[in-house]
Every structure is written in structure tokens, then in C-alpha cells.
Structure 1
Amino acid sequence: MNEIVVGYDASPDAAAALNWALDQARRDGRPVRLAYVFEWLTVAGWIGPGVTPGMWPDERARQQVEELVRKAAADAAATHPDLTVRGEVLDGPPALVLEECSSEAGLLVLGGRGHGGFAGLLAGSTAVSVTAHAHCPVVVVRRDTADRAGTGHVAVGVDGSEHSLLALGFAVEQAALRRVPLHVVRAWQPRREQWHLVGEQVRDAALAEQRAELDEPLRRWQESFPDVEVTVEIAAAAPAGLLIDASRNAQLMVVGTRGRGGLRGMLLGSVSQQLIQHAHCPVAVVRER
């Protein structure tokens, strides 16, 4: 079974990501690998533990990082003796290295903020690159959402696109694994110039059409997982706000990497950034392997 890879740099959010990954591994029996990406030099200068910008790293700095990762892996293994946990230090640009790690992983888990090699993870291009190009599902865990990771249902944003249907499959499997209900969310948006012109009858018909498009994929998954209770929410609303609001009572929000209609540009524009930064629970981003 492919392992769970955790992007780890000893930051509080990385610790939250590691805890999430360990809980997930306890559910599905996967081994866990901590990956510290050691980026020696950036435009801003050296990024590493205890080293200031402008200094060139030495072997001692590398040894400190290796000891940090070794201890984190050992502590995790001690508190989870039924799991296989290991750690390693890798060199290179974080986004590219993590994307490469994802090619052999079953799941990649990242913290929402970091230091060291993951500084500014969600402030720049790294998170967009990793979530858009990873070869496996990516879960982003912010430390302020860590307490939601064990309570509530699984929620998924579905707009009928191929990638959102992959997200639906992942979400159903997670709901079954966690033995919790699944909440399917779909945003319908008329064109901007029509927003205030859509009458109630037309709006209701459009929402019914949106619901009908979900019937077949939901039926297929419910045949495979008949014990998963499914609820559906369809609303004429902006997708980012709808998904963020839907995350309030969820333990995991799942989305695809690309979408159409209400979820178009999920990982290219503001919707994904708002969701990853403002969702009330960890967020899983799913793409085709």
C-alpha cells in the first residue's frame, strides 16, 4: 500500500499535519514518511533552522535537520507503535521535490504554514504548484483546523467535471473509512448580468437540473458504499463562500484540481486559496494520477 508522505519542517502546522497523517494511517494501515525538504539557497538567502539569510549552510546545519527529523519520526513511532514511521531529508526546491515524492505516495499531507524549506507555503506559488501538480491527493492542514479533524462529516465540492467526480470518489471512500456521513455541495452561478434577474421558478428549475446531474455518480458510489449516509446541498451562491461555509461542520473538505461552472479554476484563482486558507477543517485536493 502506498505510504502517506508528510511535508515536515517542525513548524506548528507541520506538527498538525503529522498528527493528521498518523490518524489517517491508523485508519487505513499505510506507512508514514516524514520528508523535510532542505532548500540550501533561495533568492532571499539561506532558509534553514537557526541560520540567518545570507549565510551559507554547513554540515552541522544539515546534521541538526537530520536529527530533528529522526526525533520526530521516533516520537511518532513511539506514540503509534502499530504504525511504520520513518523520516528523511531531501534537497531541492520544496514544490518540485514534494511533487516528485507524490509520484510514489498514496497521500501527501502538508501544513498550512511553515518555516525552513516550507516558508510561505500558502503565501506564494508553492501550495498552488503542489496541489495542482501532485500525482496523488494532497491534504492541507492548518493548525487552527486541527481540532476539526476528528469530528463531523466529510464534505465534497462537486460540479460534474471529471476532476470533481474523482474528488467525489475520494470523499465517499473517506466517509466510509471514518464511518461518518457524506455531504455533497454544488454551487450554481448564473451569469453576473443575470444574477438579479433570475426568477424563482427559473432558479428552482436550474437547481433541480443541477441535482439531477448528481444522481448517476451518487448512485454508483452508493452501490459500492451503501452504509454511507449522503446529503446534497445545491445553492445559487458563490462557490468559495459556499464551500467555506460547508466546511464549518466537516472534518474534511474535498475538492478536485479543476472544475467547470461554479468551481472553474479551483486551483488557479482565488477560490482554492480562500478555501485552503479559510476553510474550517483540513482540505483534500484530488487529481487524476
Structure 2
Amino acid sequence: MTIPIGHTNTVVVGVDGSASSQRAVRWAAAEVARRAATLRIVHAELPLPADALDLSGMARHALHDEAMRWVRSAIAAAEDTAPGLDVQVRVEVGSAARLLDQESKTSALVVVGSRGLGGFTGLLLGSVAVALSCHAKCPVVVVRGDDPASDGPVVVGLNGAPENWYVVDRAFEEAEARDVELVAVHVWQPPLRTARIAESVGIVWSELDAGREALVAQRLEACADRHPGVEVKKYVVHGSAAQRLAEFSEGASLLVVGSRGTGGLTGMVLGSTSQALVRHAPCPVLLLRPGLAEQMDVAQTVF
């Protein structure tokens, strides 16, 4: 996998005892086995309320015991998925988002479930996923889907921004590592909503689509040379970016998107799109922030 400069070949997974986090652990374990990396299981124990009386420490001890049960369950799930993994554990009292953000500063990838237990006894992994998509210092995977496909294609959302290259390149890398095809999708919303108005001002949708298809081909060709064995299918479609990407991701092994994009006629609004996909995509979602591009440009790649 592409590792940002100064980071280690470690995959971090956040756990909270929920079924969603168990799926995240299994996904992360399979990824670690595929990439010959280290798995780091992280749990953030919630602090006691400021007005809680725990003079004997029994409440804190009970929460810690529960946390360790969840961690042991996560270790068992990881070893069942990929025996012989190198597994590390970190358990601390604090904010889940803050703890995982700290881990992202030195890790190759952070993996979380799409929903947590919530309330006092667990992490709100849904909100944590959103926070990490905005602030993490390495790529983030939100594991969605009850039973993510392992042999489905990798789908990537393309926008019109020049800096979108690193999203496309990472999607090629993920497809190559899985030995599956890459499905590249560019979604745009025509500025005029009716064909009659469009015709009256001389707009020909097929010509606009052709221009965007040329742009997509250019983006893909720039990365395809580094990944010659990857079969690529490309689509230029109209509509809501989140909705269309979710449709193309049915049966996919992974959906790759940037966490922010450009709006208007020049591209998709991947800020809002990525947030919608974190909540509704039918497969795991790999989120890449624009700030990672410079680190990943000169990063080492481990296969």
C-alpha cells in the first residue's frame, strides 16, 4: 500500500464491541495479510462523567474489563480471518476520534466500522468515521456492507480537479493488489434541467459528455502506465454523485473517493458526497483527503 512519508506499515482498526467494528476488524485483518503489514487494534474507553463518584474505582475497573473483552474478541476475529498476524493493542481512556487521529499520524491506514454501539458504553463510530474523513493524517476506510465482497471491482469517483490524480492512482493500486478490475465513474449534474431549455440555448449534452469523457480518459491514462495489468472500465453519467457512485458500488470490494472536491460545472462536490457515502455506500469506502497528496507523491509503496 502507499504509505505517507514518516508513517509505518501499520493498519489501525478502531473497536467498540459492536457488530460493525467486528466487521471492520475482519476487513482490516484481511488487508494486513494481503499487504504483509502490522495490525493495531485500538479502543478508547470513555471517561467517567465529571459528576460521577467512583471513589473505589469500581466503575473505571468495570469499563476497563469490558474494553478488554472487546479487544480480546477483536483479536480472535483477526486471527480467525488471517492466522499468524502481527497484532498490537492500544487501550486508553479518551475520545475515540482523537485517539484514532493520533494513530493516523504514523500509520498507513485507519479502519473503522460505519456504526458503533453509541451511548455511554461504546464509541460512536459513525461520527468518528466522519471526523476522521476530515482530519486523519492517513487514508481511512469505513467498512460498510454486512458481508463485503472480496472479489468485486474497485470503484473510483473522479472529479474535474487536477489534484484528483492521487485518488485515481490509489484506486489503481487497490485494484492491482486485489487483482480485480477498476471501474472509474465521473458524475456530473447538467446545469439546465430540461432538454427544451437546453436546446433553446444550443446545448448538446452529447458534446459535453464527450468533453468529460476525454478528461476522464486523460486522468486514467496518467495512472494506467504505472499499473499496466489493471483492466479499466470508465463511465460518464448524470445525476447525484453520491447516488450514482452508490449504485456502481453494488457488489464492489472497495469504493475510493476524495473527501473533498470541486462544485459546479467543473466536478463533483466530494465533500458532501463522501459524507453521504460513509453513511449509505453498499461496500467499504476508502477516503483520501487532499492534504495527503503531497505526502503520497513521494511515498514508498509496499506490495
Give the TM-score taking structure 2 as reference length: 0.81
Report the CA distance between 1:170 and its aligned residue: 1.2
- Rate the CA distance shift 1:76–1:6 in 2: closer, same or farther, 3 A: same
Hey, what's the Cα distance between the residues in 1 that align with 2:58 and 2:216?
55
**Partner secondary structure for residue 180 of structure 1:** coil
Corresponding position: 1:263 with 2:265: no
Counterpart position of 2:141 = 139
Report the CA distance between 1:243 and its aligned residue: 0.7
Q: Does the CA contact (< 8 Å) of 1:155 and 1:254 recur in 2?
A: yes
Residue range with higher mean Cα deviation, 199-208 or 19-28: 199-208
Report the CA distance between 1:67 and its aligned residue: 4.3
Query: Among 80, 94, 106, which residue is 2:96 paired with?
Result: 94
Report the CA distance between 1:79 and its aligned residue: 5.2
Q: Does the CA contact (< 8 Å) of 1:108 and 1:137 recur in 2?
A: yes
- Rate the CA distance shift 1:279–1:74 in 2: closer, same or farther, 3 A: closer
Counterpart position of 2:12 = 5
Q: Does the CA contact (< 8 Å) of 1:69 and 1:88 recur in 2?
A: no
Hey, what's the Cα distance between the residues in 1 that align with 2:80 and 2:107?
23
Counterpart position of 1:38 = 45
Hey, what's the Cα distance between the residues in 2 that align with 1:67 and 1:148?
25
Query: Among 190, 193, 212, which residue is 1:195 paired with?
Result: 193
Report the CA distance between 1:165 and its aligned residue: 2.4
Counterpart position of 1:150 = 150
Counterpart position of 1:220 = 222
- Rate the CA distance shift 1:157–1:57 in 2: closer, same or farther, 3 A: same
Q: Does the CA contact (< 8 Å) of 1:188 and 1:210 recur in 2?
A: no
Q: Does the CA contact (< 8 Å) of 1:157 and 1:164 recur in 2?
A: no
- Rate the CA distance shift 1:18–1:75 in 2: closer, same or farther, 3 A: closer
Hey, what's the Cα distance between the residues in 1 that align with 2:110 and 2:282?
20
RMSD of aligned Cα (Å): 2.4
Counterpart position of 1:29 = 36
Query: After superposition, where does 1:271-282 map in structure 2 within 5 Å?
Result: 271-282=273-284
Tell me, which stretches of 5 or more residues in structure 1 are unaligned?
A: 47-54
Corresponding position: 1:161 with 2:142: no
**Partner secondary structure for residue 147 of structure 1:** coil
Counterpart position of 1:50 = none
Q: Does the CA contact (< 8 Å) of 2:15 and 2:74 recur in 1?
A: no
Per-residue CA distance 1:262-289 (angstroms, 9 max, x = gap):
422x23x3x3333122211111111233
Size of the aligned set, in residue pairs, is: 270
Higher relative contact order (CA 8 A, sep 6+): 2
Query: Among 109, 112, 129, which residue is 2:114 paired with?
Result: 112
Tell me, which stretches of 5 or more residues in structure 2 are unaligned?
A: 1-7, 293-303
Report the CA distance between 1:82 and its aligned residue: 3.3
Hey, what's the Cα distance between the residues in 2 that align with 1:249 and 1:71?
28
Hey, what's the Cα distance between the residues in 2 that align with 1:42 and 1:169?
45
Hey, what's the Cα distance between the residues in 1 that align with 2:250 and 2:80?
33
**Equivalent pairs: percent with the same residue?**
33
Q: Does the CA contact (< 8 Å) of 1:66 and 1:88 recur in 2?
A: no
Hey, what's the Cα distance between the residues in 1 that align with 2:238 and 2:150?
30
Query: After superposition, where does 1:30-69 map in structure 2 within 5 Å?
Result: 30-41=37-48, 57-69=59-71
Counterpart position of 1:241 = 243
Letter in 1 for 2:115: R
Residue range with higher mean Cα deviation, 78-87 or 239-248: 78-87
Corresponding position: 1:179 with 2:184: no
Misfit runs of 4+, over 6 Å: none
Report the CA distance between 1:102 and its aligned residue: 0.7
Per-residue CA distance 1:89-118 (angstroms, 9 max, x = gap):
022211122111111110111001112442
Report the CA distance between 1:70 and its aligned residue: 3.8
- Rate the CA distance shift 1:79–1:175 in 2: closer, same or farther, 3 A: closer
Report the CA distance between 1:185 and its aligned residue: 0.5
